[in-house]
């Protein structure tokens, strides 16, 4: 099976300092992939590179086997949707307005919205449960409602790949689970490839098919949740000692019980 996304020997630097160093991995189509790592490990930089918001100094990103540098902006927006943490809407934009923006890559400047566009906008709002909020200004919604509205906009693009940077940031635990369950359902029902940066490692372990762990700009572990989220990895990468067990699906679950007493991190 061709990968949804593939990074090959990626090198990204700022002010002469390498942020991502000789990084290679692939993301299967129709799977949920989480990128984890401590602050400053390069997670958001990697997401920006995968979405063409950053161009690597060396190496190549492929989207369904095609060099991302050769994909124009409009075509990319049809195939990939990206939601960053800092997404904000103007005060007068309603939920319906926001979701309709997702149709722009599929429209020509001389044409208005078609009936098909309207149907897709309605479908995206139904999928994310924001139909009843359609006429509300986005800024008046709760954090969880706003996140669902932004995801609806992304769905209206009809992408094959959805990239998200910390989709549960600033949400309480109930709304965090609501968003994670929504992404899981969208992935399963629509074969949507989901790639997200997560700080909550238990969420990553519970909802991911594949996890990529970064440390100091390099991949130090990649594989299934059970293969990546281990006591050794958590000690070495995050400098924490944990109590770890596995749930009924054999997915790892852990509670941190303290910091490591010496530097056991990857070199």
Angle subtended at Cα 34 by Cα 210 and Cα 152, rounded to the nearest 5 degrees = 120
Q: What is residue 110's predicted lDDT score, i.e. its pLDDT?
A: 56
> Can you list the residues of the chain whose pLDDT is less than 50?
267
Question: In this predicted structure, what is the pLDDT of residue 262?
Answer: 65
pLDDT of residue 248: 93
Contacts 24+ apart (CB under 8 A), 86-93: 87/150, 89/138, 89/139, 91/137, 91/139, 92/137, 93/137, 93/138, 93/139
The residues, ordered by sequence, that sit 6+ positions from 126 with a Cβ below 8 Å of its Cβ are none
pLDDT tens digits for range 104-137: 999 876 566 789 999 999 999 999 999 999 999 9
* Per-residue pLDDT, 1: 62
Where are the strands (E) in 46-139, listed by range? 58-63, 66-67, 80-83
pLDDT digits (tens, 9 = 90+) for 171-215: 999 999 999 999 999 999 999 999 999 999 999 999 999 999 999
Q: For the chain, which residues make up each domain, given as ranges?
A: 91-157
pLDDT reported for residue 39: 95
| Exposure string for 184-221, b = 16+ CB within 10 A, e = fewer | eebbeeeebbbbbbbebbebbbbbbbbbbbbbbbbbbb
Strand partners, 255: 243
């Amino acid at each position: 099976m061709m990968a949804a996304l593939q990074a090959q020997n990626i090198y990204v630097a700022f002010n002469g300092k390498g942020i991502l160093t000789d990084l290679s991995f692939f993301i299967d189509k129709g799977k949920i992939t989480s990128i984890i790592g401590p602050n400053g490990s390069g997670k958001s930089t990697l997401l920006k590179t995968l979405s063409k918001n950053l161009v690597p100094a060396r190496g190549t990103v492929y989207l369904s086997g095609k060099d991302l540098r050769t994909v124009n902006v409009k075509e990319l927006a049809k195939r990939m949707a990206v939601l960053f943490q800092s997404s904000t809407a103007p005060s007068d934009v309603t939920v319906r307005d926001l979701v309709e923006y997702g149709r722009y890559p599929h429209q020509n400047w001389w044409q208005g919205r078609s009936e098909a566009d309207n149907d897709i906008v309605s479908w995206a709002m139904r999928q994310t449960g924001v139909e009843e909020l359609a006429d509300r200004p986005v800024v008046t919604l709760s954090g969880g409602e706003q996140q669902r509205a932004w995801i609806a906009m992304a769905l209206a693009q009809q992408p094959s790949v959805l990239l998200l940077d910390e989709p549960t940031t600033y949400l309480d635990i109930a709304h965090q689970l609501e968003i994670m369950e929504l992404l899981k359902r969208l992935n399963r029902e629509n074969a949507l490839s989901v790639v997200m940066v997560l700080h909550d490692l238990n969420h990553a372990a519970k909802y991911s098919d594949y996890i990529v762990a970064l440390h100091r700009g390099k991949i130090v572990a990649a594989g299934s949740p059970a293969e990546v989220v281990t006591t050794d990895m958590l000690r070495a990468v995050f400098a924490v000692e944990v109590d770890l067990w596995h749930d009924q699906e054999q997915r790892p679950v852990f509670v941190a019980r303290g910091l490591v007493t010496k530097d056991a991190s990857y070199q």
